[in-house]
Amino acid sequence: MKEKRGLIAFDDLNLNIITPGFCTLCGACEAACPVHAIRIEENKIHYDDCSDFLDFCPICYDICPHTEPLVMEAMKFVASAPLRRSALGYYRKIILAQSVNPKIREASHSGGIVTSMLAQAMESGMIDSAVISEAKPSTPLTLKPQIGLVPDDILSAVDSKFSPSSVAKAFGNAVREYGKTKIAFVGVPHQILAIRKLEAWEHKIMSSLEVTIGLFCLWIFSLDRLLNYLKERHHIEHSDITRMDLTDKYIISTSHGTVELPTEEIMPHILNKCKTCMDFTSELADISVGGAAPLENWSTVIIRTKKGEKLFQNAVDAGVIRTMRIEEQENTLTHLLSMAMRKKMIAREEAESMRMKGVAIPPIDQTLIFLHRDRSVMADTKVRDIMTKEVITVTPNITVSHLLDIMTRHHHMGYPVVNEKDELVGIVTFEDIMKVPKERRTDARVSQIAKKKLITATPDSSALEAFERMRRHEIGRLIIVDPSNPKKLLGVLTRTDIMHALGREA
């Protein structure tokens, strides 16, 4: 009998991801496996011992979106974008858009942008297929992956997702079974990360990827648990559900009416891994698309790469979508930033709680939240080398409404406050603004809401020291000051700055 050598990655994948319940069934492992030993069937993973064919193979563990390898490498696909913000990641611009076709908007329950861009790209020859998810007619919350081969196939694409779908597996099928070479891939954040990891690995099927479209996603649910709960607690049958929306509330539309539930009530039914996911806007996609609340029938579009810009502009030039500056809709941008920051905050709190309880944490979060893997690099990196030196500041006497205008233009989540002598006197953040009722924002002043007690660091501090200070005080940024004059502002350092620096080292 052949001796098992223990060098097969599936053992680690099973131990660290599958057994603890972190797998989200994206299918990347099946798409990548060189001997087809992994299969996802009926929402379960099936594995044939590949050690009979391979002496060593790390790929299924490395490309899993919930493991630590290749994370920094994946970031490089979007890192050339000129703008970088802690809430939204890298991007070129943010815009509002909608399909000119009212039937597409109605079918998508939003702006219909994903459908319109894909259909136009297919008609123009930019892509030859699209990997999407579609809902099963009888059970609309149950999603299945679909390979769109003609424009009409795209009409069934789901613009938002709340349950698992093995789209990465479908991407492999599009290449191997259909021979497609210019594929558009549509997915939620962890599915986009899986595809980016496959790209970073330089897997042979990835030469067929043309563009990635990321969907905004708060959380994905364990569908069986959620449906059982809704049936037992609220007497809602799956077949009666026609639509589901998740913002600051969980809104269920049925054939009999609408039910609104607080998000705290449905939190226990979220997939384990989603509870520690910090990515709301699919930060690694070429272009990201999501709702534009409180606007109806519009979508928010975040263009991150030149590929994403080309896809979007192709639809604009063809006249199939119309656009509007997001700065014209202050409430929409505020809602976007609020949702993105909220997801990051909940993820950090959940991960910290799991760590304190001694509960297993997804390996990727050891990298993204606690940065365990890169501590030696951070210890050798000085704050002065990675901080933002050109800082936008505000004065104490401007109104909160004026501050929100500044935030709408620049998309930063925090601003140092300086007095008439240019002395540092505080910091004001997006969270501080959100505590002020809308009707009071034109009268309330920054001086009334800014934090006076500052958490600071100096340029000679290490990135590791700065990161630990952020984590200890549960904040996302540090004010960098002159060690001989703590009122002299020298820069700002955010968690995103640290991640960007680590990405350059990868």
DSSP secondary-structure letter at 2? P
Mean pLDDT of the chain: 88
Instruction: Tell whether domain 71-220+277-348 is in CATH 3.40.640.
Output: yes
Q: For residue 191, which of 174, 207, 215 has the smallest C-alpha distance?
A: 215
For residues 248-266, give the mean pLDDT.
83
In this predicted structure, which of 102-116, 175-189, 260-274, 367-381 has the lowest mean pLDDT?
Answer: 367-381
Q: CB 266: neighbour CB atoms within 10 A?
A: 19
Domain with CATH 3.40.640 in the chain: 71-220+277-348
Domain with CATH 3.30.70 in the chain: 9-62
Output the pLDDT for position 65.
95
Distance separating alpha carbons of residues 376 and 380, to the nearest angstrom:
7
For residues 307-320, give the mean pLDDT.
98
Q: Give residue 6's pLDDT band: very low, low, confident or very high (50, 70, 90).
A: very low
% pLDDT > 90, the chain: 53
Q: For residue 320, which of 91, 103, 93 has the smallest C-alpha distance?
A: 103
pTM over 0.85: yes
Q: DSSP characters for 224-279?
A: HHHHHHHHHHH---GGGEEEEEESSEEEEEETTEEEEEEHHHHGGGB-GGGGG---
**pLDDT tens profile 147-200:** 998 888 787 665 555 667 889 999 999 999 999 999 999 999 999 999 999 999
Distance separating alpha carbons of residues 229 and 365, to the nearest angstrom:
29
Which two structure tokens, joined as six digits, stand for 172? 């492999």
Output the pLDDT for position 138.
62
Output the pLDDT for position 4.
40
For residues 425-430, give the mean pLDDT.
94
**pLDDT tens profile 113-139:** 999 999 999 999 999 999 998 776 666
Distance separating alpha carbons of residues 191 and 490, to the nearest angstrom:
39
Residue 223 in this model has a pLDDT that exceeds 80? no
DSSP secondary-structure letter at 442? T
Output the pLDDT for position 8.
65
Residue 374 in this model has a pLDDT that exceeds 90? no
**Would you give the distance in Å from CA 484 to the centre of its chain?**
40
**Architecture of the domain made up of 371-505:** Roll (3.10)
Q: For residue 301, which of 113, 169, 157, 134 has the smallest C-alpha distance?
A: 113
Output the pLDDT for position 139.
64
Q: Is the peptide bond before 294 cis (omega within 30 degrees of 0)?
A: yes
Q: Give 9-62's CATH code, choosing from 3.40.50, 1.10.10, 3.30.70, 3.30.2010.
A: 3.30.70
Distance separating alpha carbons of residues 275 and 348, to the nearest angstrom:
9
